Amino acid sequence: MDGTLISLFSAVESGTIYALMALGVYLSFRILDFPDLTVDGSFVTGGAVAAISIVNGVPPVLATFYAAIAGFLAGVVTGILNTKGKINPLLSGILMMIALYSINLRIMDKPNVALLNEPTMFSQVEGFWASLGIDNFLNGIFTMAGSDRVPGTWAILIIMVIITLIIKFITDYFLKTEVGLALRATGDNEKMIRSFSANTDILTIVGLGISNALVALSGAFIAQYGGFSDVNMGIGMIVIGLASVIIGEALFGTKTIARTTLAVIGGAIVYRIVLTLALKVKFLETGDAKLITAVIVILALVAPKIIATQKEAQRKKRKRAMLASGEGANNA
Amino acid sequence: MLSMQDIAITFNEGTLDEKKALQDINLEMQKGDFVTVIGSNGAGKSTLMNMISGSLKPDIGTVKINDKNVTLLPEHKRSQFIGRVFQDPMAGTAPTMTIEENLAMAYARNKKRTLKVGVSKKRKALFKEHLETLHLGLESRLNAKVGLLSGGERQALSLLMATFTEPNILLLDEHTAALDPSRAELITNLTGEVVEQFGLTTLMVTHNMQQALDLGNRLIMMDKGQIILEVSGEDKQKLTIEKLLHEFQRIRGTQMENDRAILG
């Protein structure tokens, strides 16, 4: 074993954090049918607000909360640009993304903020977690599975799984409430839900707010996980979000809302695993990550269609063969 | 119930494409009135509908619902009082959502939307009860996505969604025009039943003259943005397609142009 297991562990760990971002993208992209590029900016906003707050002595939990609020506001502005300013969805998002780049620089006052010696939500939990002694047990399993290295702590994975699942369940519930149904209909058939007295402008604005709050929350956790916030950490984030949504839906299905949100979380983790394994290939470098991402998305988009076409062709072939042999029997 | 006074609107004013879409429209509807609207393409029927629903605002004139001036009230607020069924069977329902979810959205029309679950057990029973009145077996498919239903089923569901909260006014915009004859007949019959059941004040635009004669207690004919003929009560019951065409020719001095209307 050459540390594959341990890097897979890291992939799952960061996957659960990016899953929040993927849930945000799911809300805008699938529920509201709004391809929202704000994500590239609001992810950094989340990281920046959390980092700068922590550096200035704000407790990490509160700093993370501020990050979500900042993301919410970014989404609200995109929503207002689209609904009140009548700017097309893609352009609203792009405008907000580019504006946020400068705003994020202003928030941090420099291109990056380090958190190495600062408390984070994870460092605060780690101490408590270590005292429980569960790590020894889990690491034992890890060693038995054949790994010569073990994770430093399981706290991050455990806490992120809990947070991500809580947010998933809240999202599932919200999308079934009267407001949530109206929000889904806004993305599905806007004319119809307006004729049932829903204010689609407000719903779009609030929906994008919630979506970007989740994205910023994810950014805040990533900053605390990696120990820094960087103004460029959001580049390509929307594509990673889409990759997670599309992979998740293709692998785990979309039968119900609860199933789909779980699929999106699964998609985010699978994406990280695939990326990690791809980067283990000898001739690929870290800088190729974005290219690999693009290829993964393309495969996830194209492969299901090719498989479906082949299945259909085989079905027809079987049917023809069956009919032909049936006729043969009749003639004989 | 509904009152329109001196409504007028002109599209593209001051350009070559200027079109007086509505002129001097005065229409009073009492509670329980069922008015059918006929007229050739471009007569202003749809504009009239949009004026009532609020998706268009008049240049001049006022619209009142229940003696309340709603002329400037935005569409989504006005739709608390108004139920609508569109011509396109795809337009009145959300395809990726289930039958019960669609009904829950319609149920919330005249209430404030909250963070409570939209499809509660109690409501499910209510939805079932209402679906049974359609006799399409939809009551056993509450969890089916609406996109899987046929055009006729979707339009029946749209009709139910528009009416079961008993809106002050029901607007039907050629809602059987996109269906095959047997489905259109089914929806026409359902419309008659449901309007009677709830005593709804209804305005129905149609291209089908026979339908306009069969349904409702009043009929108006529009042409070039004006109401040119109004018939109600016993006079309407005695009306035939021939008489209507004759009337049109007498008033306008030309034949009615629309083949679709005549053949209907």
B122/B45 same-domain check: no
Residue of chain A whose alpha carbon sits nearest to that of B146: A188
B172/B258 same-domain check: yes
Q: Is B122 near chain A, with CB under 8 Å? A: no
B201/B251 same-domain check: yes
For residue A35, count other CB atoms closer than 10 A to its CB: 14
Instruction: Determine the structural domain holding residue B208 and report its residue range.
Output: 2-81+167-263
B176/B250 same-domain check: yes
Q: To the nearest whole angstrom, how far is the Cα of A290 from the nearest Cα of chain B? A: 33
Three-state SS for A253?
A: coil
pLDDT at A270: 95
| Per-domain boundaries in chain A | 4-280, 289-332
Return the DSSP state at A31: I
CB B114 to CB A177 under 8 A? yes
B161, B110 Cβ separation under 8 angstroms: no
pTM: 0.90
Residue of chain A whose alpha carbon sits nearest to that of B95: A188
Residues of B whose CB is below 8 A from A178: 104-105, 108, 113-118
Question: What is the Cα–Cα distance from A134 to A138, expressed in whole angstroms?
Answer: 6
pLDDT at B258: 53
Residue of chain B whose alpha carbon sits nearest to that of A191: B91
CB B105 to CB A198 under 8 A? yes
The tens digit of pLDDT for each residue in A27-63 reads 999 999 999 999 999 999 999 999 999 999 999 999 9
Q: What are phi and psi of B87, to 5 degrees?
A: -65, -45
B10/B77 same-domain check: yes
Helix residue ranges per DSSP H, A133-195: 134-144, 155-174, 178-188, 190-194
Who among B96, B105, B116 is closest to A196 (CB)? B105
For residue A20, count other CB atoms closer than 10 A to its CB: 28
The tens digit of pLDDT for each residue in A56-103 reads 999 999 999 999 999 999 999 999 999 999 999 999 999 999 999 999
**Closest to B212 measured CA to CA, from B193, B236, B181, B235:** B236
User: Which residue out of A33, A83, A84, A178 would a mutagenesis test of the B interface target, given it has the greatest number of B Cβ atoms within 10 Å?
Assistant: A178
Who among B76, B108, B162 is closest to A178 (CB)? B108
The pLDDT-based confidence of A331 (bands split at 50, 70, 90) is low
Who among A180, A185, A199 is closest to B94 (CB)? A185
CB B116 to CB A177 under 8 A? yes
Q: What is the mean pLDDT of chain A?
A: 92
Question: What is the Cα–Cα distance from A126 to A115, expressed in whole angstroms?
Answer: 16
Six-digit token string for A267: 């998609």
Question: What is the Cα–Cα distance from A78 to A329, expressed in whole angstroms?
Answer: 67
CB B97 to CB A184 under 8 A? yes
B244/B189 same-domain check: yes
Residue at B171 is within a domain? yes
Q: To the nearest whole angstrom, how far is the Cα of B242 from the nearest Cα of chain A? A: 37
pLDDT at A325: 82
Least confident of A38-42, A231-235, A328-332, B187-191: A328-332
pLDDT at B239: 85
B134/B243 same-domain check: no
The tens digit of pLDDT for each residue in A175-220 reads 999 999 999 999 999 999 999 999 999 999 999 999 999 999 999 9
Residue at B88 is within a domain? no
B175, B187 Cβ separation under 8 angstroms: yes
Q: Is A206 near chain B, with CB under 8 Å? A: no
B142/B224 same-domain check: no
CB A178 to CB B104 under 8 A? yes
Six-digit token string for A238: 């929307």
B105/B235 same-domain check: no
Per-residue pLDDT averaged across A274-296, rounded? 88
Per-residue pLDDT averaged across A293-311, rounded? 88
pLDDT at A84: 96
Last residue of a domain, one of B134, B164, B194: B164
pLDDT(A144) > 90 = no
pLDDT at A329: 55
Query: At a CB cut-off of 8 Å and minimum separation 6, what does A291 contact?
Result: none
Last residue of a domain, one of B141, B164, B187: B164
Question: What is the Cα–Cα distance from A260 to A245, expressed in whole angstroms?
Answer: 9
**How large a percentage of chain A has pLDDT more than 90?**
72
Q: How many domains does chain B have?
A: 2
B218/B106 same-domain check: no
CB A194 to CB B79 under 8 A? yes
Interface of B with A in 48-67 (CB under 8 A): 53
User: ipTM value of the model?
Assistant: 0.89
Last residue of a domain, one of B164, B194, B219: B164
Residue of chain B whose alpha carbon sits nearest to that of A182: B105
pLDDT at B95: 95
Per-residue pLDDT averaged across A309-319, rounded? 92
Residuewise pLDDT in 10s, chain B (264 residues): 899 999 999 999 888 888 888 999 999 999 999 999 998 888 889 899 999 999 999 999 999 999 899 999 999 999 999 999 999 989 999 999 999 999 999 999 999 999 999 999 999 999 999 999 998 999 999 999 999 999 999 999 999 999 999 999 999 999 998 888 888 989 999 999 999 988 999 999 998 888 888 888 999 999 888 998 899 888 888 888 888 888 888 887 776 655 445 444
Residues of B whose CB is below 8 A from A190: none
Q: How many helices (H) and strands (E) does chain A have?
A: 13, 2
B66/B116 same-domain check: no
B115/B16 same-domain check: no
Q: Which residues of B103-137 are buried (b: 16+ CB within 10 A; e: fewer)?
A: bbbbbbbeeebeeeebbeeeeeeebeebbeebebe
Residue at B86 is within a domain? no
CB B95 to CB A188 under 8 A? yes
CATH number corresponding to A4-280: 1.10.3470
